[in-house]
Chain A
Amino acid sequence: MELRNGSAPVVPGSDYDAFERDILAQNAIERVVLGYDIGLQSTAIVHRYLARDVARAANDWTVENWLARDDRLYGMVLVSTAIPEDAAAEIRRVGVNERMVAVALGCNGLGRPFGEPAYHPIFEAAEELGLPIVIQVGSDIASDMPNPPVAGGLPSTYAEFRAHAPHTHWAHTTSLIAEGVFTRFPKLKALLVGGGAAWIPAWLWNVDYWYKMTAAAYPWVERLPSEYFLEHIRVSTHSLEQPPQPERLGKALGLIDGIDRVILYTSGYPDEDWETAGQIATRLPAEWHERVFRTNAEELFRWPMRVTPPQEELVARDAAGGR
């Protein structure tokens, strides 16, 4: 999607005016969490100290150039994961800003899924500050990383990369559970972005089956993996599946009790496949909407104490014709 500011095409997502028009101007939007795009791959910068400092610079830039412009905007602390102790330090530095509501993990700088014990300092810092971690498809994409973003080898087509987007989600989530991240950090939560959601029942049934066969090898996994998933993992609607019969998506997902607490709306803007809340709403049961579009996000991110404007300000805005 080409966004124009004046006569020159601009990088999607860099034009504040376009962003304001496309997103903020929608009356229903109360809060927006900004999550980077190609910047997530800064972790893949081979010079790991440069990678670390790019992330630091990005965080300062976000605070000064985005969060300052509208108090409905919130950010995520971007961390380069190649040096976990430095990532933890960055979380503690920037995470104290009350407009930072989550930690955005870049790609897995150590070449291993995120449950790897060496990454645990990152989760310790995140839990300490009450911040959920956010894992986004596309951060693991660098083609010269030792492992591919899609199972079975590098995909030949971008279409396949899109279709198989949840693969890294499965790898990271299994790893987080198997390595006891939620046992060590019981208040930690993780949000998966960009891999759709229809796979959730199949994946939960699968991982529970294999857990039962090998539970003795991981005694710190004290409950079924599916129980950890339902308590600690959230899944965004970005790249939500589109069955020809839309009601079948709810039917498939609804087989998991409590799934309405797991799924939450993210637009994915300005990705080619970004969707408005209205578009997503047509594919999910109406009784889930309150949770999907508001409550689950309210409960997941670390919002500042006063998150909605006081009543008198809302009245004043209405009188002025909305914003």
Chain B
Amino acid sequence: MSVDVGSTDEFVPGKPRVFDVNGREVLVVNWRDDWFALRNVCPHQTEILATGGVTEEIGPGERVGQLRVTGRALIACPRHVWTFDLRTGQCTVDPSLRVRAYRVLVQDGRVLVDDGRPERSPRRPAQTVEAADRAR
């Protein structure tokens, strides 16, 4: 089911925003013409991921001592700086850790997060986390 998290111009590239998607905090971020959504909890010590840095992956160059930018988009948990693939949620430094990833679609200028549930009712907008707090 698609959850509408706002219009594309409400997002600043590289700056995640957090939404309540079916009772779970999900971060949504725009990075280099691409859109990503991850569960907003680091599986290591339950830190909040959304305040971490969005970066490009640095990979090995041809020889030891050389580096190269690989193009893979990552987010670094702000606590211990472990990095996660923004597309798949896979932790790049600990193979046993993974964050739930959601597919994101952009349609008619709206950003839609696929929450993995079957379509039942019309698209409805999600609340940002701050709005959800205020409502309680």
Q: Interface residues of A: mostly helix, strand, loop or mixed?
A: helix
- 1/0 per residue A174-185: CB within 8 Å of B? 000001100110
Q: Which B residues lie within 8 Å of A184 (CB)?
A: 63-64
Among candidates A183, A215, A224, residue contacting B64 with C-beta atoms closer than 8 Å: A183
Residue of A with least CB distance to B44: A212
Q: Judging by beta carbons under 8 Å apart, are B83 and A220 in contact?
A: no
Q: Interface residues of B: mostly helix, strand, loop or mixed?
A: loop
Q: Which B residues lie within 8 Å of A215 (CB)?
A: 83, 92-93
**Contacts A212-B80, A213-B82 given: A220-B93 contact, CB under 8 Å?**
no
Q: Judging by beta carbons under 8 Å apart, are A216 and B60 in contact?
A: no
Q: Report, as a range, how many residues of chain B touch the other chain.
A: 10 to 19
Q: Judging by beta carbons under 8 Å apart, are A219 and B67 in contact?
A: yes
CB of A298 within 8 Å of the partner chain? no
Q: Report, as a range, how many residues of chain A touch the other chain.
A: 10 to 19
**Contacts A117-B65, A213-B80 given: A219-B60 contact, CB under 8 Å?**
yes
CB of B94 within 8 Å of the partner chain? yes
CB of B106 within 8 Å of the partner chain? no
CB of A211 within 8 Å of the partner chain? yes
Shortest C-beta distance, B121 to chain A (Å), equals: 42
Within 8 A of B (CB), among A173-204: 179-180, 183-184
- 1/0 per residue B61-86: CB within 8 Å of A? 10111011000000000001111000
Shortest C-beta distance, B129 to chain A (Å), equals: 27
Among candidates B65, B81, B82, residue contacting A180 with C-beta atoms closer than 8 Å: B65
Q: Judging by beta carbons under 8 Å apart, are B64 and A179 in contact?
A: yes
CB of B58 within 8 Å of the partner chain? yes
Residue of B with least CB distance to A216: B58
CB of A222 within 8 Å of the partner chain? yes
Shortest C-beta distance, B95 to chain A (Å), equals: 8
Shortest C-beta distance, A149 to chain B (Å), equals: 28
Shortest C-beta distance, B78 to chain A (Å), equals: 12
Residue of A with least CB distance to B76: A216
16 additional contacts (CB under 8 A) given A212-B94, A219-B68? A117-B65, A180-B65, A183-B64, A184-B64, A212-B80, A212-B93, A213-B80, A213-B81, A214-B81, A216-B57, A216-B83, A219-B58, A219-B59, A220-B60, A220-B65, A224-B93
List B residues at the A interface (Cβ < 8 Å). 55, 57-61, 63-65, 67-68, 80-83, 92-94
9 contacts between A and B (CB under 8 A): A117-B65, A179-B64, A184-B64, A211-B93, A215-B83, A215-B92, A216-B58, A216-B83, A222-B60
List A residues at the B interface (Cβ < 8 Å). 117, 179-180, 183-184, 211-216, 219-220, 222, 224
